[in-house]
Structure 1
Amino acid sequence: MTTAWNWYVIVLILFNLLGITWLLWWTSKRRPGDPKPDETSHYWDGDITEYNKPMPRWWINGFYIAIVFAFGYLFWYGGFGTYQGFGHWSSKGEHDQEAAIANAQLEKTFAPYKGQAIDVLAQNPQALKLGKSIFANTCSTCHGSSAKGAVGYPNLTDQIWHWGGSPEQILHTVLNGREGVMPAWGKTLQGMGGPDAVDYVIAYVHQLGDKDASARSDYAAARGKTLYEGICVACHGKDGKGDQKVGAPDLTDSYWMYGDSREALRETISNGRHGVMPAWGTVLGDTRSRLVAAYVWSLSHSPKPGTQSAQ
């Protein structure tokens, strides 16, 4: 806030408070020559008289007390422009204080699970219950309440993991996040194989997973194989099995995060994809991250005999 706006706010506040004080004093003051409260000479129907009685003193004094309180409030909490106030109060400071109290209480709840391995936590019904609650508050926005994902957001209930599905890999994903980038190869492929180059690669990718067999063109797939081995093999591998080190998906399975239709694959290959999994470590902390990672891991791993599932 500039100095001019700062003074504008201060003057406006003082004008209103002082103006209200003056108006209260002026209107409650009786002047010489004013009729008595019951001598207004206003009558209706012969026996109805209008009085002009002043407000009770306790009521007027209550207004004055409220005005004094307003000045005190503004000086203590800071309401005059950028003035911070004697109390040095701020909404951020109060939020941080309340958050610290809440976090301290949460730490007591999560303390028994501190540092435990993901697969160990996954066998604890109470730990899974807490992990499910954290998932619902944090992860369900993208992955859905059932964790089955959506277009562009992976399904967490199957056995397919682009970045690895071991307990350690899932915990790393939760703590540090992931960023998957599929470059836009449309122009490059067209320069190598002509205007239909992207469709050739799609035909070969479908052949890798044995999809769309009735409409597959052997010629297109053969052309696509050459183009694939010139560009795509670096990330997805010669056999199309992908590489979990870089998050490159397996092209031979039945799962396609952005869809396996020709239109979806054409968009993916031509214009690329950019998926980001945020890092939740700084938000949730280590223990809560472990609990939610244990819950996610449990979704695709059956509990051992004799244990209960929190799902």
Structure 2
Amino acid sequence: MSDFTSNFWSIFISVITIGGILACLALLWISGKTKAMTLSDNTTGHVWDEDLREMNNPLPRWWVGLFIITVVFSLVYLYLYPGLGTYEGSLKWSQTGQFDREVSRGNEQAAPIYAAFSGMSTEALAKDAKAMAIGDRLFMNNCAQCHGSDARGGKGFPNLADGDWMWGGTPDKIHETIASGRTGVMPPMAAAVGSPEDVRNLAHYVLSLSSSPNDSVRSNLGKSKFTVCAACHGADGKGNQALGAPNLTDNIWVDGAGVESHIVSMINNGKTNVMPAWSSKFTPEQMNVLTAYVWGLGGGVRNPAPAPVAVAPVETASK
């Protein structure tokens, strides 16, 4: 969608572009028709450094020819490709279209490789060296920018190599996270907690949940204030993966070390973290391999076993 709300800039760009080309042609024509006043020796009378004289020689034909070719090329280019405001060009070429074609071509070339992994479970893929080598490349090219080359994350980016999962570490949940993305929201809660002292007391209670260094007096005072947090983090502070609410008892802190100032800042200001969706970037086969790679880093858990299906007893007629 165009960022402009009117066609003014489209017309402006078109006029400047076409005007520049016409001005070049006009300059070439004028320079060829204008006759400079010369002396009998074909000089203009301009002298520099005592003996350097300006000759009135015409432009070399090869230079004029290259100039005309350049102008013609620019007109042909502007007809074939976008360059005049909102005009798309007769070939309908675009960067997005070319990118999509190249990605599609690459996926077609890689399809036979991924076909070998078709039907394999996440657990089986995680044990396949070739699949994990491909998963490593997918991760390095697309995920390492945020989660690090060792997948151990950083401030604001979760560690994928441990057993702490805000949204669930089963293959199904990891696949869902990669495909659909996640948006984790910690709203500002200071107004609901109370005074600044209440916020500090609550911060110390949160620290006590993970046995982090805390002021026991403040912690006891802040315990009652935790009720405003329990709706997401649970009464015991162990979090809620359905909401992406982190476990506050395991001493793992995505957005910084567990210290009073950090927790006070989170309560006062809140935080929004976004994991983008990748379903439009990866094919289903690539998604399965990447899921297995992340799951196999060491922190994933198995999908729960399906619940047994109850079978109603069959009544038989007695003879």
* TM-score, normalization by structure 2: 0.75
- CA 1:179–1:15 in structure 2 vs 1: closer, same or farther (change >3 Å)? closer
- Asked whether 1:265 is paired with 2:263, we answer yes
- Asked whether 1:75 is paired with 2:79, we answer yes
d(CA) in 2 for partners of 1:80 and 1:253? Answer: 59
Matched position secondary structure for 1:181 = strand
- Asked whether 1:119 is paired with 2:118, we answer no
Post-superposition Cα deviations, 1:76-116, rounded to whole Å, max 9, x if no partner, equal: 33544444443333333333333332333343443333453
What displacement does 1:132 show?
1.4
Match of 1:105 in 2: 109
Q: Which residue, out of 254, 269, 275, partners 1:277?
A: 275
What displacement does 1:53 show?
4.8
What displacement does 1:208 show?
2.7
Contact in 2 for aligned 1:175/1:286 (Cα 8 Å): no
Contact in 2 for aligned 1:115/1:287 (Cα 8 Å): no
- CA 1:257–1:17 in structure 2 vs 1: closer, same or farther (change >3 Å)? closer
1:131-170 pair list within 5 angstroms: 131-170=135-174
Match of 1:172 in 2: 176
Post-superposition Cα deviations, 1:109-137, rounded to whole Å, max 9, x if no partner, equal: 43333453222111111211111111122
Matched position secondary structure for 1:169 = helix
Root-mean-square deviation (Å): 3.6
- The structure whose RCO (Cα within 8 Å, separation 6+) is larger is 1
Match of 2:247 in 1: 250
d(CA) in 1 for partners of 2:42 and 2:58? Answer: 13
d(CA) in 1 for partners of 2:284 and 2:298? Answer: 22
Higher helix proportion (structure 1 or 2): 1
Post-superposition Cα deviations, 1:219-254, rounded to whole Å, max 9, x if no partner, equal: 4333333332x3333333333322222222222223
Identity of aligned residues (%): 37
d(CA) in 1 for partners of 2:185 and 2:148? Answer: 22
d(CA) in 2 for partners of 1:120 and 1:290? Answer: 11
Structure 2 unpaired stretches of 5+: 301-319
Contact in 2 for aligned 1:182/1:273 (Cα 8 Å): yes
- CA 1:216–1:300 in structure 2 vs 1: closer, same or farther (change >3 Å)? same
Match of 2:284 in 1: 286
Contact in 1 for aligned 2:234/2:240 (Cα 8 Å): yes
d(CA) in 2 for partners of 1:16 and 1:86? Answer: 22
Matched position secondary structure for 1:180 = strand
Structure 1 unpaired stretches of 5+: 303-311
The size of the alignment, in residue pairs, is 292
- CA 1:172–1:35 in structure 2 vs 1: closer, same or farther (change >3 Å)? same
Match of 1:189 in 2: 193
What displacement does 1:161 show?
1.6
Contact in 2 for aligned 1:175/1:289 (Cα 8 Å): yes
Match of 2:212 in 1: 211
